[in-house]
């Protein structure tokens, strides 16, 4: 592969309803799409998942664009790239900025798979023909509205329900859900809103039979989670804290979690996500694929990743209609009986809905390799 042209677009897409967490709310989602074309005229696509506000990680859509334009594209364009695994090595001189890196790295994985005429899932070493899917439900204005969302999700076949909790909306909320749905596979995501001072409260959550509690403590913490896990029955799942293979290694060594949420964008791309997956498999730690409220291109990458053997738990890879009136890929991603079937088409396995992309684009810029 030799990338001769890259187009970065900023898209603005309205979600069907706002997605609210302990740190903020999003409805008009703005994000990047990157198209990387190589000398043979084939194009790979990546999605930049950083939000407009740095509340999940330190990156934003704008920092991603800046880092791509000024640092990452110059390292890649016009260079011979034999395999996408080379990309993370090439990027190693640039610290962190993982979501920016993943935007370009995933486009190169898509391009690579298209060049080989194989599905991206196969290129990554995935073997599943379908992947199990759960759903993540943001904080709702009332319990009734939350129940309605849970009903809809169960009806659509989703295999587990994830709800968001925060101080003041935790015990009472889970209690209410468990009264209505005693047996539903349920987990709670705290997005780092507790500290070890909340130990007693977190221990109270043990009674609700949660599959896991996601990221209860600090977004960068690995040490305190180990202390907490040793005093909780509920398995801890780390999300924000795991930004690299080394973080995953430390969390396994210290016993900071029993489950890991792998988001390829949070760790800098599919190659690093695969390494973390393999490490977890070696240590018999189950993993699942997290989501970033992506549109179809980012979702397709996450779904391909989820075909690896140790993604044994349902991921946050809800189908297109869960968030969007119209997705930017065709066909749209559909969930049947709790599973998404893996496309046999080359690359991400979905066509790009160019007319939708054009309509949602608010800004774009083209970059060409210097010859
Ligand atoms: O993409 C999805 O469907 C799941 C989204 C989701 O739960 C999250 C996306 C982004 C930030 C967080 O709020 C949250 C998470 O922490 O996993
Ligand atoms: Mg999370």
> Is 129 annotated in some ligand binding site?
no
Residues near 82 by beta carbon (within 8 Å), at least 6 away in sequence: 1
CA angle 61, 311, 291 (to 5 degrees): 20
Residue of minimum CA distance from atom 8 in ligand 1: 292
pLDDT tens per residue across span 259-271: 999 999 999 999 9
Same fold yes or no, 3-118+351-363 and 122-341? no
- Ligand 2: centre distance to CA 108 (Å): 26
The pLDDT score that the predictor gives to residue 23 is 79
The pLDDT score that the predictor gives to residue 198 is 98
- Ligand 1: centre distance to CA 45 (Å): 21
Which ligand has an atom closest to residue 136 CA?
Answer: 1
Mutate to test the pocket of ligand 1, among 54, 316, 323 (most ligand atoms within 8 A of CB): 316
Q: What is the residue-averaged pLDDT of the chain?
A: 97
The pLDDT score that the predictor gives to residue 220 is 97
How far, in Å, CA of 140 to CA of 146, rounded? 6
The pLDDT score that the predictor gives to residue 371 is 67
Task: Check pLDDT > 90 for residue 54.
Answer: yes
Distances (CA, A) of 322 to 133, 143, 158, 172, 204: 12, 20, 11, 26, 32
Give CA 327 to chain center in angstroms.
Answer: 17
- The first and second tokens of residue 166, run together, are 């925060």
Average pLDDT over residues 283-288: 98
The pLDDT score that the predictor gives to residue 302 is 98
The pLDDT score that the predictor gives to residue 370 is 86
Q: Let me know if 7 is exposed, middle or buried by CB neighbors in 10 A (0-12, 13-18, 19+).
A: middle
Near ion ligand 2, which residues have CB within 5 Å?
189, 214, 239
Q: Please identify, by atom number, the ligand 1 atom nearest to the C-alpha of residue 215.
A: 16
Q: Please identify, by atom number, the ligand 1 atom nearest to the C-alpha of residue 191.
A: 16
User: Rounded to 5 degrees, what are φ and ψ at 136?
Assistant: -110, 125
Q: Are 293 and 323 in contact (CB under 8 A)?
A: yes
Q: Where are the domains of the chain?
A: 3-118+351-363, 122-341
Task: Check pLDDT > 80 for residue 207.
Answer: yes
Torsion angle of alpha carbons 251, 256, 258, 262, nearest 10°?
A: -50
The pLDDT score that the predictor gives to residue 176 is 97
How far, in Å, CA of 215 to CA of 212, rounded? 10
With H, G, I as helix, E, B as strand and everything else as coil, classify residue 142: coil
Indicate whether this complex's ipTM tops 0.95: yes
Which ligand has an atom closest to residue 23 CA?
Answer: 1
Average pLDDT over residues 92-110: 98
pLDDT tens per residue across span 308-353: 999 999 999 999 999 999 999 999 999 999 999 999 999 999 999 9
- Ligand 2: centre distance to CA 82 (Å): 34
pLDDT tens per residue across span 131-143: 999 999 999 999 9
With H, G, I as helix, E, B as strand and everything else as coil, classify residue 148: helix
Average pLDDT over residues 93-105: 98
How far, in Å, CA of 180 to CA of 277, rounded? 35
- Ligand 2: centre distance to CA 214 (Å): 6
Q: Please identify, by atom number, the ligand 1 atom nearest to the C-alpha of residue 261.
A: 17
How far, in Å, CA of 157 to CA of 338, rounded? 5
Q: For the domain 3-118+351-363, what is the CATH code?
A: 3.30.390.10
How many CA atoms within 13 Å lie on the side-chain side of 21?
A: 17
Distances (CA, A) of 55 to 21, 93, 193, 299: 10, 25, 12, 21
Q: Please identify, by atom number, the ligand 1 atom nearest to the C-alpha of residue 299.
A: 1
The pLDDT score that the predictor gives to residue 24 is 85
- Ligand 1: centre distance to CA 315 (Å): 11
The pLDDT score that the predictor gives to residue 213 is 98
Active site residues: 164, 263
Average pLDDT over residues 240-250: 98
Residue found by looking up tokens 């398995």 in the block? 235
Which ligand has an atom closest to residue 163 CA?
Answer: 1
CB under 6 Å to ligand 1: residues?
21, 56, 136, 189, 191, 239, 290-293, 316, 318
pLDDT tens per residue across span 71-80: 999 999 999 9
Residue found by looking up tokens 């065709």 in the block? 330
Q: For the domain 122-341, what is the CATH code?
A: 3.20.20.120
Average pLDDT over residues 10-35: 94
Task: Check pLDDT > 90 for residue 2.
Answer: yes
What is the percent of the chain where pLDDT is above 90?
Answer: 98
Q: Is the peptide bond before 331 cis (omega within 30 degrees of 0)?
A: yes
pLDDT tens per residue across span 113-157: 999 999 999 999 999 999 999 999 999 999 999 999 999 999 999
């Amino acid at each position: 592969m030799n990338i001769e042209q890259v187009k970065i677009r900023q898209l603005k897409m309205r979600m069907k309803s706002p997605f609210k967490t302990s740190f903020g709310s999003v409805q008009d989602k703005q994000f990047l799409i990157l198209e990387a074309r190589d000398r043979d005229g084939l194009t790979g696509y990546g999605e930049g998942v950083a939000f407009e506000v740095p509340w999940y990680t330190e990156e934003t859509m704008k920092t991603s664009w800046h880092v791509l334009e000024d640092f990452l594209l110059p390292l890649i364009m016009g260079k011979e790239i034999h395999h996408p695994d080379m990309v993370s090595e090439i990027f190693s001189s640039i610290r962190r900025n993982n979501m920016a890196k993943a935007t370009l790295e995933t486009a190169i994985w898509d391009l690579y798979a298209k060049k080989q005429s194989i599905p991206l899932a196969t290129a990554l070493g995935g073997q599943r023909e379908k992947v199990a899917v759960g759903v993540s439900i943001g904080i709702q204005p009332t319990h009734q509205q939350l129940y309605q969302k849970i009903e809809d999700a169960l009806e659509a076949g989703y295999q587990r329900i994830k709800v968001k909790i925060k101080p003041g909306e935790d015990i009472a909320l889970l209690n209410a859900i468990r009264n209505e749905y005693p047996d539903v596979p349920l987990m709670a995501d705290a997005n780092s809103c507790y500290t070890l001072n909340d130990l007693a409260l977190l221990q109270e959550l043990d009674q609700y039979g949660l599959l896991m509690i996601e990221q209860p403590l600090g977004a960068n913490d690995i040490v305190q989670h180990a202390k907490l896990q040793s005093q909780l029955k509920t398995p801890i799942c780390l999300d924000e804290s795991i930004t690299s293979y080394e973080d995953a290694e430390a969390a396994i060594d210290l016993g900071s979690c029993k489950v890991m949420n792998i988001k390829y964008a949070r760790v800098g791309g599919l190659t690093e996500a695969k390494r973390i997956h393999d490490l977890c498999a070696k240590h018999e730690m189950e993993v699942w694929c997290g989501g970033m409220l992506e549109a179809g291109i980012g979702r397709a990458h996450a779904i391909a990743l989820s075909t690896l053997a140790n993604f044994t738990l349902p991921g946050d890879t809800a189908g297109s209609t869960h968030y969007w009136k119209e997705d930017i890929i065709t066909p749209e991603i559909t969930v049947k009986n709790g599973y998404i079937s893996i496309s046999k088409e080359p690359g991400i396995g979905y066509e790009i809905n160019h007319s939708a992309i054009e309509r949602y684009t608010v800004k774009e810029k083209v970059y060409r390799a210097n010859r």
